[in-house]
């Protein structure tokens, strides 16, 4: 199985995080996620995150910082998540692909069901 590399953005504003729900038909469908997507061959993770957040939530990232990299093996897919916090951006985040999305307090993040690989992200944010 090939490992896929995913750029993931934790968009933060006033102790809230912007999350969206994965479409039902996708891998890990129906769960909440931090916006992002697969890195293309000619991109750095930083570039991939800028592109994905422009496409998926319509913002231009101004400040991003590495938070962690997570390797996780799902039964049907192996992923590496390159996770970055995004603390400055232009535009107002809006889900561009019709998925549900909302701002949630960092302290409430554990109430939402994320893919298993995300557990470390939620823990790290709540310990900040």
Ligand X SMILES: Nc1nc2c([nH]c(=O)n2[C@H]2C[C@H](O)[C@@H](COP(=O)(O)OP(=O)(O)OP(=O)(O)O)O2)c(=O)[nH]1
- Which residues contact ligand X by CB under 6 A? 6, 8, 26-28, 33-34, 36-38, 77, 79, 81, 115, 117-118
Q: Which is nearer to ligand X, 29 or 91 (CB)?
A: 29
Check binding of 9 to Mg ion (CB under 5 A).
no
CB closer to Mg ion, 3 vs 105: 3
Question: Residues 61, 107: contact at Cβ < 8 Å?
Answer: no
Binding mask 18-47 for Mg ion (x = CB under 5 A): -------------------x----------
Q: Residue 52: how many CA atoms within 13 Å on its side-chain side?
A: 25
What does residue 124 show for φ and ψ, rounded to 5 degrees? -65, -40
């Amino acid at each position: 199985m090939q490992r896929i590399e995913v750029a993931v953005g934790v968009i933060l504003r006033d102790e809230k995080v912007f999350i969206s729900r994965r479409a039902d038909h996708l891998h890990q469908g129906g769960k909440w996620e931090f916006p992002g997507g697969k890195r293309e061959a000619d991109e750095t993770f930083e570039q991939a995150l800028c592109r994905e957040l422009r496409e998926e939530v319509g913002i231009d990232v101004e400040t991003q910082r590495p938070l962690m990299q997570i390797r996780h093996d799902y039964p049907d897919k192996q992923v590496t998540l390159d996770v970055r916090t995004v603390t400055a951006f232009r535009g107002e985040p809006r889900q561009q692909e019709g998925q549900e999305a909302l701002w949630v307090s960092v302290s409430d993040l554990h109430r939402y069901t994320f893919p298993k690989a995300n557990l470390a992200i939620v823990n790290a944010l709540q310990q900040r």
